[in-house]
A = this chain, B = another copy of it.
Amino acid sequence: MNIVLLDPRQTESDLWSIRAKRQLEHLRTHVDVQVGDTLKVGIREGKRYLTEVIAVSDQHIQLKPIAEEAVPDKLPVTLIVAMPRPKVLRRLIMDSVTLGVEKIILLHSYRVDKSYWQTPFLQQLPHYVDLGLEQAGDTLAPKIELHKRFKPFVEDVLPTMISAERPAYAAHPYTEQAMPSGIAHPCTIMIGPEGGFIPYEIDLLIKNGCQAVSLGSRIIRTETVIPYVLGRLFSR
């Protein structure tokens, strides 16, 4: 937790207050926060501030804003990922949010186990988004969409997201063209499930405007490939 994320209604009076149990526990146990300390605070969907701790009690920590701070820029990228196993999903959401992905789409695919769509983690996504934002020092949650049918998404939705200025790259091991690097334009990235997209899916993606691109001969897990690709694409 590198900032404390507050709801706008917690910052309406002159003194702001932290009341969420998770945040209070973290600040007491890991930070040992004391009156007079400074604390970085972000207002959900708003600005970021350096604040001073005015009071600490069991029920709340009171803060006074001192100075505005910059909210980090987002990466101009939409990440479309085949729905992963629940444990991987949690990490994937946190990492994507931490790294500044603008929009995340979870998509069904032939090699995705249907049971993954039933995981209780899906109800907890906002919590993992919060953890990612608090890690990064960001205040703006990415949009998250779920698409449970591959073909209608790829044929009807995906083409509306692709243009000459905003290409879409599908990571695919069996292709010659390499994933680009150090780009200066927005884009969409598609990451397949464990075992990859099936040939039918790759063909449909290409037919609908996606470029199949390779990351070399090493086969990388979904949760590892996301930071790897983001580091590569936006390295300017």
When all copies of this chain in the complex are counted, the total is: 2
* Bound-complex Cα distance A212 to B221 (A): 30
A136 interfacial by beta-carbon distance below 8 Å: yes
**Contact (Cβ within 8 A) B182 A235:** yes
Contact of A182 among B99, B182, B217 (CB under 8 A): B182
**Contact (Cβ within 8 A) A224 B137:** no
* Bound-complex Cα distance A217 to B137 (A): 8
Residues of the B chain whose Cβ atoms lie less than 8 Å from the Cβ of A135? 219-221
Instruction: Give A210-226 as 1s and 0s: 1 = Cβ < 8 Å from B's Cβ atoms.
Output: 00000011111100111
A174 interfacial by beta-carbon distance below 8 Å: no
A interface residues, tally (CB under 8 Å): 30
* Bound-complex Cα distance A219 to B131 (A): 12
Contacts A231-B228, A231-B229 given; does A136 touch B219 at CB 8 Å: yes
Contact of A99 among B99, B181, B218 (CB under 8 A): B218
**Contact (Cβ within 8 A) A236 B181:** yes
* Bound-complex Cα distance A220 to B216 (A): 25
Chain B residue nearest to A2 (CB atoms) is: B219
* Bound-complex Cα distance A39 to B131 (A): 41
Instruction: Give A119-144 as 1s and 0s: 1 = Cβ < 8 Å from B's Cβ atoms.
Output: 00000000000000001111000000
A167 CB, min distance to chain B CBs, angstroms: 17
A107 CB, min distance to chain B CBs, angstroms: 22
Residues of the B chain whose Cβ atoms lie less than 8 Å from the Cβ of A220? 98-99, 135-136, 227
A168 CB, min distance to chain B CBs, angstroms: 18
Residues of the B chain whose Cβ atoms lie less than 8 Å from the Cβ of A232? 231-232, 235
Known: A98-B221, A99-B218. 19 other contacts (CB 8 A): A70-B217, A95-B221, A95-B224, A98-B220, A100-B218, A136-B218, A137-B217, A181-B181, A181-B235, A181-B236, A220-B227, A224-B227, A225-B227, A227-B228, A228-B230, A229-B231, A231-B235, A232-B232, A235-B235
